[in-house]
A = this chain, B = another copy of it.
Amino acid sequence: MTEITDTTPTWLSADELDSARARLPLVYIDAIPVRVDERGQVISIGLLLRGRPDGSISRAVVSGRVHYGERVRDAILRHIEKDLGPMALPQIPPQPAPFTVAEYFPDPEVTGFHDPRQHAVSLVFLVPVTGDCAPNQDALDLVWLTPQEAVTEQVRAEMTGGQDRLVRLALAHAGQLP
């Protein structure tokens, strides 16, 4: 999209990424896929079942790194396509501001958002999807839960690293926290 991506190495080797992870906070996005009715009200929230950085297989939202030279908008679109398939038809928000920022630390006590691999600063967006979602690549499963279902103790217990709290923050932002 820019000259940058044409002329410089934007992807890192595994070693280089490991080294950077020990030195710099990384830029991430979290995208919470939701179904909305015709007046925009959130009626369900999509949760993936996948392997997580902490070694667990647990429920999580769409998430990933922003590449060098990549717009945040393009990173959201890329990760949604990667996790939900090419037919998800996401409505990326028009505003660049995330509704919250999740700061992931190797130390789970700092913010409650935990990533054993790295310090990541994640811009979190609510993303309505209107098409067919087919979890691909690493995800084992995708479920759509109502706001009431998404905050039950049972579903919360299936999430780690603060993902359950991220879901509640998203529902609160949408005015749909039960």
Contacts and interface: CB of A to CB of B under 8 A. Distances in A.
The secondary structure that dominates the A interface is loop
Interface string A9-31: 11010001000101111110000
Interface residues of A, number: 66
B172 A172 contact: yes
A2 interface: yes
* Identical copies of this chain, number: 4
B72 A103 contact: yes
Contact of A8 (B3, B22, B123): B22
A109 B2 contact: yes
B100 A175 contact: yes
Interface in A76-114: 76-77, 91-101, 103, 105-107, 109-111
B23 A71 contact: no
Contacts of A74: 39
Top 8 A-B pairs, shortest CB-CB distance: A40-B92, A172-B172, A39-B73, A96-B175, A96-B101, A25-B27, A2-B107, A27-B121
